[in-house]
């Protein structure tokens, strides 16, 4: 007889199976000691090949299909019937087991004769290689018998069989099964019956499961992510499993309260989604009335009031109470978030005032600047169409001014909401504000802000940034774009799958912001910019423009900056001939103290238009920023300071280009190498000339100084046929 049967239901997410199966192999169990039963409800392309791949690695796995109309509960029941192990262990296909977990559980079961052994669960967005296993508190610090208080703590938020080692004889003798007539909550009756049947229940130290939270709820949603999109089904399934679950808690008030809390919690979720239970109200009211009396202390007054309305068969009144809860969730501070009040005014007044078909809203980097392609398009339209249009710039700095016929609105202010609501045309270079609801007849032009080197959105395996909802929010916002302009065919191909956007919406105009690099009066611009910055006459200019690191942040939208380049070294050897312009990413939150490099390093992070900095620079140093795609239009040398390249390309993002072979300049790993490269620029230019010419043809060939015109004509519907 085998020691353990690992049952893994598989639905979607072939990309997660490597981590899942590898983690099982890493337990180092003897091959004849365990079996893996993988059950799938669809023959997804590649699943059989994946199983064969791991069979060759030594994983004793077999694959069983079940009907697609049945859910996870049915699959697990099928797995139990097929299992030959003394113990059963359930594992979801997108999760993975941490090192030593199963051995610790088996040791504990053998030593104490436990029917059920439970370990800890670490929730993570990251793949197996990236998980920081010590990032959370210990589950328990020593193996010990579980109490009802422990059980209440373990299942405080979700009742799950995950990371539990269960004696199969207990399951068979008590006919314990998952609810196979529901899609959601099938674990609850199983766990409650198991706890009532088990004689010995143990908690084990140092035995963890990584519960992976999927970061792509659009294409690969988890069960709980799908659940909120099906509130009626969610309520139906909870009402279906509730009576059986509560039956097995008789005489166990803490366990009873777990089930009752789960009912109330999910009734509130259903109400929050906007669904009003009417046909189910009688049953829902009966169960909720029974439950809310016992667990009312776990809910705020407004939530208790909502549940009480349901218990009294008053779903409409419950919905009114829930509306108050939703408003309070969205607001912040004593009187709420101002933008919520402004949106209310929009619904009440602005949206009824009519749309202005000659108003255009421009916004760059969430209002952080008057720059980039929106500025280039604005300048062209102002010079070409003049007063035919009213131009509105959204800026965080209320004192910044631009040109004639132009109004200004503070980002997320009342005027911003007003102009956003009434203007027909909208130009962005990043996503629009999340609160903005696009109205019929509006035209959104997304200019984006660079040719991609780093993987974007749906091409990213893991999201290391502060916002773990990045993919869902990006998908929501990008559905509103009418056009997305591209700088080259390379970008077009990537945008299509990385943004999951129709190719017909992607128009190759070139980037308007690069028009200035082809301006006939470029020399005049250079002189003016150098004077504005205060660059001494005769000094050559280094532009250092590093990007941000996704995993180094204070909070969403505020990232750290590591001073990795040795400015002291460069100043010592280059300051007689050169000065250095430091341009950090707009996400960087640091206020940098560069006083010790005065006269050599100039912090131009707040300078409005980086394209003007390109013009005045003799060489550009960057890392993984897309600035070098734009800078290459000037055919001036580019150096890549990539001191952390292995971590960046393999873990944080991944790259669309092979940096070792496709870039038009050398990869440099130390400050000393950067210094040497600058001192030998002429030699490097000759060495990389052929590669640079190929790079220019591939990425810059659309640039001709007319991209702003093409984008403007596209925006206002005057695009000429190709």
**Does 652 map to a domain?**
yes
Mean pLDDT of 546-562: 49
Mean pLDDT of 599-616: 92
Same domain, 359 and 433: yes
Model confidence at 550, pLDDT cuts 50, 70, 90, reads: very low
Model confidence at 133, pLDDT cuts 50, 70, 90, reads: low
Q: In this predicted structure, what is the pLDDT of residue 352?
A: 92
pLDDT digits (tens, 9 = 90+) for 324-346: 887 777 655 444 578 888 988 99
What are the residues facing 553 on neighbouring strands? 559
pLDDT digits (tens, 9 = 90+) for 181-222: 899 999 999 999 999 999 999 999 999 999 998 888 888 888
pLDDT over 70, % of the chain = 92
Q: In the predicted model, what is the mean pLDDT of the chain? A: 89
Select from 234, 313, 316, 223 the least CA-distant residue to 270: 234
Same domain, 170 and 252: no
Written as six digits, the tokens of 690 are 């052929």
Whole-prediction pTM? 0.82
CATH number at residue 192: 3.90.550.10
The residue with greater pLDDT, 628 or 587, is: 628
Paired sense of beta strands 164-167 and 201-212, if any = unpaired
Q: In this predicted structure, what is the pLDDT of residue 214?
A: 86
The residue with greater pLDDT, 651 or 148, is: 148
- Residue 422 domain boundaries: 342-451+473-508
Q: In this predicted structure, what is the pLDDT of residue 177?
A: 96
Q: In this predicted structure, what is the pLDDT of residue 718?
A: 58
Does the structure show a pLDDT above 80 at 551?
no
Q: How far apart are CA 206 and CA 213, in angstroms?
A: 21
Q: How far apart are CA 506 and CA 504, in angstroms?
A: 6
Same domain, 661 and 574: yes
Does the structure show a pLDDT above 50 at 234?
yes
pLDDT digits (tens, 9 = 90+) for 51-61: 999 999 999 99
Cα distance from N-terminal residue to C-terminal residue, the chain: 72
Written as six digits, the tokens of 289 are 């009335």
pLDDT digits (tens, 9 = 90+) for 431-458: 999 889 899 999 999 999 999 988 899 9
Does the structure show a pLDDT above 90 at 511?
yes
Mean pLDDT of 472-478: 91
Same domain, 253 and 106: no
Does the structure show a pLDDT above 80 at 591?
no
Same domain, 622 and 489: no
Does the structure show a pLDDT above 90 at 226?
no
The residue with greater pLDDT, 133 or 560, is: 133
**Does 468 map to a domain?**
no
Give the count of beta carbons closer than 10 Å to the beta carbon of residue 399. Answer: 6
Q: In this predicted structure, what is the pLDDT of residue 558?
A: 40
Same domain, 180 and 109: yes
Same domain, 288 and 353: no
- Poorest-pLDDT segment among 108-122, 215-229, 414-428: 215-229
Q: In this predicted structure, what is the pLDDT of residue 333?
A: 44
Does the structure show a pLDDT above 50 at 587?
no
pLDDT digits (tens, 9 = 90+) for 662-700: 999 999 999 999 999 999 999 999 999 999 999 999 999
Cα separation values, 186 from 234, 399, 647, Å: 11, 58, 40
Same domain, 263 and 373: no
Last residue of a domain, one of 180, 214, 248: 214
Q: How far apart are CA 561 and CA 586, in angstroms?
A: 11
Q: How far apart are CA 464 and CA 550, in angstroms?
A: 5
**Does 638 map to a domain?**
yes
pLDDT digits (tens, 9 = 90+) for 652-662: 557 899 888 99
> Are the beta carbons of 371 and 364 closer than 8 angstroms?
yes
Q: How far apart are CA 12 and CA 221, in angstroms?
A: 9
Q: How far apart are CA 569 and CA 565, in angstroms?
A: 9
What total number of domains does the chain contain? 4
Same domain, 176 and 321: no
Q: Which residues contact 373 (CB under 8 A, 6 or more apart)?
A: 364, 427, 429, 447, 448, 449, 485, 511, 512, 513, 707, 708, 711
Same domain, 284 and 373: no
Same domain, 414 and 489: yes
Q: How far apart are CA 713 and CA 549, in angstroms?
A: 36
Last residue of a domain, one of 330, 354, 380: 330
């Amino acid at each position: 007889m085998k020691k353990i049967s690992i049952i893994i239901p598989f639905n979607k997410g072939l990309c997660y199976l490597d981590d899942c199966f590898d983690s099982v192999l890493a337990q180092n169990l003897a091959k004849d000691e365990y079996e893996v039963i993988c059950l799938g409800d669809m023959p997804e392309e590649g699943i059989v090949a994946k199983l064969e791949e791991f069979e060759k690695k030594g994983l004793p796995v077999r694959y069983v299909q079940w009907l697609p109309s049945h859910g996870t509960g049915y699959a697990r029941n099928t797995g139990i019937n097929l299992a030959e192990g003394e113990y059963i262990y359930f594992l979801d296909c997108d999760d993975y087991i941490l090192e030593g977990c199963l051995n610790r559980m088996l040791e504990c079961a053998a030593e104490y004769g436990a029917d059920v052994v439970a370990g800890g669960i670490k929730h993570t967005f990251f793949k197996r290689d990236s998980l920081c296993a010590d990032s959370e508190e210990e589950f328990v610090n020593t193996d010990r018998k579980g109490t009802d208080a422990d059980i209440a703590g373990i299942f405080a938020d979700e009742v799950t069989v995950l990371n539990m080692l269960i004696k199969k004889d207990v399951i068979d003798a008590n006919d314990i099964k998952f609810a196979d007539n529901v899609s959601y909550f099938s674990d609850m009756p199983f766990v409650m019956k198991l706890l009532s049947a088990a004689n010995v229940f143990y908690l084990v130290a140092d035995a963890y499961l990584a519960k992976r939270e999927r970061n792509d709820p659009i294409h690969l949603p988890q069960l709980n992510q799908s659940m909120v999109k099906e509130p009626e089904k969610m309520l139906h399934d909870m009402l279906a499993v509730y009576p059986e679950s509560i039956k097995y808690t008789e005489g166990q008030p803490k366990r009873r309260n777990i089930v009752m809390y789960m009912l109330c919690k999910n009734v509130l979720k259903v109400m929050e989604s906007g669904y009003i239970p009417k046909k189910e109200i009688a049953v829902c009211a009966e169960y909720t009335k029974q439950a809310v009396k016992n667990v009312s202390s776990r809910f705020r007054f407004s939530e208790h009031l909502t549940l009480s309305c349901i218990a009294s068969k008053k779903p409409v009144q419950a919905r009114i109470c829930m509306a108050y809860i939703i408003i309070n969730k969205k607001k912040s501070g004593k009187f709420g978030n101002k933008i919520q009040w402004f949106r209310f005014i929009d619904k009440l007044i602005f949206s009824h005032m009519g749309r202005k078909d000659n108003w255009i809203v421009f916004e760059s980097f969430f209002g952080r600047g008057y720059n980039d392609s929106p500025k280039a398009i604005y300048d062209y339209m102002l010079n070409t169409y003049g007063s035919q249009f009213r131009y509105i710039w959204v800026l965080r700095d209320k004192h910044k001014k631009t040109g004639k016929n132009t109004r200004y609105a503070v980002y997320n202010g009342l005027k911003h909401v007003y102009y956003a609501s009434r203007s027909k045309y909208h130009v962005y270079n990043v996503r629009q504000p999340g609160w903005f609801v696009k109205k019929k007849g509006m035209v959104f032009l997304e200019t984006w802000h660079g040719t991609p080197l780093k993987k974007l959105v749906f091409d990213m395996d893991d999201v290391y940034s502060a916002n773990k909802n990045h993919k869902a929010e990006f998908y929501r916002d990008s559905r509103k774009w009418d056009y997305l302009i591209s700088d080259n065919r390379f970008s077009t191909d990537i945008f299509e799958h990385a943004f999951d956007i129709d190719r017909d919406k992607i128009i190759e105009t070139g980037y308007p912001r690069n028009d200035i690099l082809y301006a006939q009066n470029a020399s005049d611009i250079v002189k003016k910019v150098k004077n504005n910055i205060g660059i001494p006459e005769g000094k050559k200019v280094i532009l250092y423009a590093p990007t941000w690191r996704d995993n180094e942040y204070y909070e969403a939208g505020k990232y750290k900056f590591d001073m990795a380049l040795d400015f002291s070294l460069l100043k010592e050897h280059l300051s007689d001939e050169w000065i250095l312009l430091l341009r950090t990413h707009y996400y960087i939150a640091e206020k940098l103290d560069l006083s010790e490099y005065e006269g050599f390093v100039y912090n131009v992070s707040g300078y409005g238009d980086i394209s003007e900095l390109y013009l005045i620079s003799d060489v550009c140093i960057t890392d993984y920023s897309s600035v070098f795609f734009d800078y290459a239009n000037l055919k001036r040398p580019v150096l890549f300071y990539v001191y952390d390249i292995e971590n960046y390309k393999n873990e944080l993002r991944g790259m669309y280009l092979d940096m070792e072979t496709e870039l038009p300049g050398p990869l440099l790993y130390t400050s000393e190498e950067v210094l040497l490269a600058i001192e030998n620029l002429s030699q490097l230019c000759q060495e990389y000339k052929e590669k640079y010419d190929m790079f220019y043809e591939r990425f810059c060939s659309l640039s001709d100084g007319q991209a702003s015109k093409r984008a403007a004509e596209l925006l206002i519907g005057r695009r000429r046929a190709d």
